[in-house]
Structure 1
Amino acid sequence: MTRTLLAAFAIICGIWGTGTLAEDETSYSILGFEDLEDWAADDHAAALSVFRETCGDMRDPDWVALCRLAADTRDARQFFELFFRPVLIREPETAALFTGYFEPELDGSPVETETFRYPLYRMPTEAQENQPWLTRREILESGVMKDRGLEIAWVDDPVEKFFLQVQGSGRIRFPDGRVIRVGYGGANGHLYRSIGQELVRRGVYEPHQVSALVIANWVRRNPEDGMDLLMHNDSYVFFREVSEVPADRGPLGAMNRSITPERTIAVDPAFVPLGAPVWIEKEGEVPMHRLMVAQDTGSAIKGAQRADIFFGTGDTAGREAGRIKDGGRMVVLMPIQRAYALLPVQSQ
């Protein structure tokens, strides 16, 4: 970093102030790094490495400048503290919620067989051109997808297929040992509806009892009602094959770059810029205070204080992700000028 750049940002730092702005019922507060619990104890170099993975795809001039600086910096903690300010973004009466996601591995086949009967589809042209398109039930029961060559692979379990669509990406292992990777290829445009919440509404479970494993087991124990439950979610996800991504790399996120276990989160881009560093303070049985990078999105991830933590690939990652349903808070690290632009004039 040049002395001129450091001096320029030091001048900007001199306009330090705090405050909140209520606009469309959303408030913004600038915090100090000393307000972030366990900030000094984190591995800032690991977070910086993940930030570098996707910052080159950010087009706003503020982010472009910081990405260039990130390429040459040697002190990761100093980089974040010099050029960013922590911004707490809140919506009234909306508590923070952290969940987890992972990249599943499913058994499948490149052709339909008696065992492998449930197809993973590419997105048809009419779904791209007409949003919203058909509902999940209409897609699966109308026959609109048949005999069009849109199948990427077939899997053996409709429940696993449903959760693969929720996760958005995964690996499919064929009988001959070959493995392909699939990623998010689009959706039918309908809002995501939680089948866990529907089970609670029906009185089957209490909210604290619901998890992906609990839902999957209930659907399998109740095949007819279970299939009907899956249809409650009108949203339907299509896939694309992304087998060019190396096996030792994470799946592609919303920025079309590999994501990193326990350093990537999915966010609502209406509040958090994709590519931005985000400090999380997750509560629960296993607290997590860590600098993450917002590199992904999800149809169920809505709100300023909503985040999905990526835990990796396979069953172990799935078990870890499935246990997460915790409160806390998340704080977005914004370029200094952009952070202060969020505040009302009287607070600056």
Structure 2
Amino acid sequence: MLSSFSLGAEAARRHYRSHHHHLPQLPATPPRALPYPQLPLPFEISGAQYLPLAWADVKGWSDDDHLAAYKTFRASCRSINAQTVAPEPKSEYKALGASLSEPCRAAKSLELSDDAKAKTFFEENFAPLRISRLGEPDGFVTGYYEPVLEGSRTQTDVYNVPVYRRPSNLFVRGYKQDSVSLPNKGPVYRKIGRRKLVPYYDRGEIEDGKIAGRGLEIAWLKDPTDLLFAQIQGSARIKFDDGTTLRLNYDAYNGYPYTAVGRILIERGIIPKEEMSMQKIREWMAQNPDGAKELRRQNRAYIFFREVNLSDKDEAVGAQGIPLTAGRSIAVDKSLHVYGTPFFIEGELPIDSERSKTPFHRLMIAQDTGSAIIGPARADLYFGAGADAGRVSGRLRHPMHFVMLVPKSLDPTPRAARLPVPDPRPSEKIAKLFPQTEPAKDQAKPAAPAAAVAPGKGETVAVASPVPLPVPRPVIEPVQELRRPAKNRPHRQQ
């Protein structure tokens, strides 16, 4: 009876509430939108920080030879304008994308011969953007050049170091085996038969003769150190006894990451970091032939070359496919940047001598790449061919200011103005009442007093105490009542 009564009463209460005290149902509160709801950022380069500038804020901009930079830029534009599709594979994933085609079309009909007009061209078609790696104030530059080496077309007792062309069994996924200039990053395989792929030989195996005698020798050099430096630079000129010259360019690599031999010498304490240069490396290798052999093999990467039809008057060909310009071309990270992008690089470099601090403020054009060039503000400066260029480029390892020139169509300043404004910050009064104080490093120290006198000053500075956090509610375990045994429980009378 009691059980039936309870169920009936509960049903009556529910009926009464639903018919006589029914409150209107309020619409559900919509979820709060994020400050930036699925809007693309105005400009984005992975791992980079950047700041829009005015041209007047670009230090040294007015002191440069803008006409020389314009001529180098137009050389890149010839390659960009010749493209019927995107300038580079997957360029749509890069910050600039195909936007350089617009200023390149403008430069196509402008045969400028005046420095002031060249300067005006860059200012009217580009916006300056200070750029560096995330969390770092500056970029970093090194230098490279084209070695001029003595060699022979045939093997002799003096010339016995082979320069190899790309082997036919070298395979890179996504590329035909006869493609020109395979990428310098990613895995590379050796094809065995029709299907089996294994990693390609490393430097030690190749130096031990794994691919010797297969007709891959382009020429022969005197010293394996000459070959190592030619491979690091990515190009070389070989002069023969009959007065002729052979021009070589990068064609492929064996799939192993580049290891800087100079860094190994620094880590071993052989050459101090402040004295490191390519000339120091060469001198140590000449004095320690056995150690040089072991040091070379620490860099397992190996470069294969191809012959190029260039005269001695032409500069080396960069990865963009055009001859480089000494003092104006740079190698950049191809995964982040587009060939043809202008970069204004400013700072001091030891150009005149090892100890000199020569002012350097120059507009450079991205026309090449390298496996060791990684990051948004990382560049390798091309200085030309020969021993003098090698001495200058060999001592460059310096932080520099980088200003990237962005086409006006991608200027991040007006595009950023269309982004929604984030939530307002607390008022100044609220911020003073509830300061965000960091926890004390030493918990044993007593709490700071309510007022403290700043050292060296006669003023009393009020220090607000941190707002105490609420004490967490204690967890109370429910106490279960002891129940009597069923045999002692009195029977309910019917």
Per the normalisation by structure 2, the TM-score is 0.63
Change (3 A) 1:48 1:23: closer
Deviation at residue 221 of structure 1 after TM alignment = 0.9
8 Å Cα contact 1:99-1:309 kept in structure 2: yes
Show the counterpart of 1:148. Answer: 214
8 Å Cα contact 1:89-1:331 kept in structure 2: yes
* Count of aligned pairs between the two proteins: 328
Change (3 A) 1:287 1:126: farther
Q: Provide the aligned C-alpha RMSD in A.
A: 2.2
Deviation at residue 127 of structure 1 after TM alignment = 2.3
Alpha-carbon distance in structure 2 between the residues aligned to 1:25 and 1:103? 31
Unaligned runs of 5+ in 1: 1-18
The equivalent position to 2:65 in structure 1, one of 26, 37, 43, is 43
Show the counterpart of 1:271. Answer: 336
Does residue 1:127 correspond to 2:199, yes or no?
no
Alpha-carbon distance in structure 1 between the residues aligned to 2:348 and 2:98? 35
SS at match of 1:62: coil
State the AA in 2 paired with 1:220.
A
Show the counterpart of 1:316. Answer: 388
Alpha-carbon distance in structure 2 between the residues aligned to 1:248 and 1:144? 36
Deviation at residue 20 of structure 1 after TM alignment = 9.3
When structure 1 is superposed on structure 2, of 173-182 and 21-30 the one drifting more is 21-30
Change (3 A) 1:336 1:217: same
Show the counterpart of 1:100. Answer: 143
SS at match of 1:56: helix
Change (3 A) 1:123 1:345: farther
Alpha-carbon distance in structure 2 between the residues aligned to 1:247 and 1:241? 14
Which structure has greater helix proportion? 1
The equivalent position to 1:254 in structure 2, one of 319, 343, 348, is 319
8 Å Cα contact 1:98-1:282 kept in structure 2: no
8 Å Cα contact 1:62-1:335 kept in structure 2: yes
Change (3 A) 1:320 1:347: farther
8 Å Cα contact 1:20-1:344 kept in structure 2: no
Show the counterpart of 1:72. Answer: 109
Cα deviation 1:235-283 (Å, max 9, x = unaligned)? 11110111x2232121101111100110111111223211111101132
SS at match of 1:238: strand
Change (3 A) 1:316 1:276: same
SS at match of 1:90: strand
Show the counterpart of 1:12. Answer: none
Does residue 1:346 correspond to 2:419, yes or no?
yes
Unaligned runs of 5+ in 2: 1-40, 81-86, 88-96, 174-186, 189-199, 350-356, 422-494
Does residue 1:136 correspond to 2:203, yes or no?
yes
8 Å Cα contact 1:98-1:306 kept in structure 2: yes
SS at match of 1:112: coil
Alpha-carbon distance in structure 1 between the residues aligned to 2:417 and 2:167? 46
Does residue 1:84 correspond to 2:84, yes or no?
no
The equivalent position to 1:234 in structure 2, one of 297, 300, 318, is 300
Deviation at residue 118 of structure 1 after TM alignment = 0.6
8 Å Cα contact 1:192-1:300 kept in structure 2: yes
Change (3 A) 1:158 1:86: same
State the AA in 2 paired with 1:87.
L
8 Å Cα contact 2:276-2:395 kept in structure 1: no
Show the counterpart of 2:280. Answer: 214
Alpha-carbon distance in structure 2 between the residues aligned to 1:344 and 1:300? 37
Does residue 1:182 correspond to 2:254, yes or no?
no
8 Å Cα contact 2:63-2:361 kept in structure 1: no
Change (3 A) 1:126 1:23: same
Deviation at residue 206 of structure 1 after TM alignment = 1.9
Cα deviation 1:90-112 (Å, max 9, x = unaligned)? 22344522111111100001111
SS at match of 1:346: coil
State the AA in 1 paired with 2:75.
E
SS at match of 2:227: helix
Cα deviation 1:9-56 (Å, max 9, x = unaligned)? xxxxxxxxxx99787542232222222111112111111101111223
8 Å Cα contact 1:272-1:332 kept in structure 2: no
When structure 1 is superposed on structure 2, of 144-153 and 104-113 the one drifting more is 144-153
The equivalent position to 1:245 in structure 2, one of 307, 310, 316, is 310
SS at match of 2:108: helix
When structure 1 is superposed on structure 2, of 316-325 and 124-133 the one drifting more is 124-133
8 Å Cα contact 2:164-2:305 kept in structure 1: yes
8 Å Cα contact 1:118-1:156 kept in structure 2: yes
8 Å Cα contact 2:60-2:346 kept in structure 1: no
When structure 1 is superposed on structure 2, of 112-121 and 275-284 the one drifting more is 275-284
State the AA in 2 paired with 1:31.
L
Alpha-carbon distance in structure 2 between the residues aligned to 1:69 and 1:261? 25
Per the normalisation by structure 1, the TM-score is 0.88
Alpha-carbon distance in structure 1 between the residues aligned to 2:145 and 2:45? 35
State the AA in 2 paired with 1:202.
R
Alpha-carbon distance in structure 2 between the residues aligned to 1:153 and 1:262? 29
Alpha-carbon distance in structure 2 between the residues aligned to 1:311 and 1:129? 31
Alpha-carbon distance in structure 1 between the residues aligned to 2:396 and 2:306? 28
Show the counterpart of 2:234. Answer: 168
Aligned-residue identity in percent? 37
Alpha-carbon distance in structure 2 between the residues aligned to 1:295 and 1:47? 12
Does residue 1:301 correspond to 2:368, yes or no?
no
Change (3 A) 1:45 1:22: closer
Show the counterpart of 1:290. Answer: 362
Larger RCO (CA within 8 A; separation ≥ 6): 1
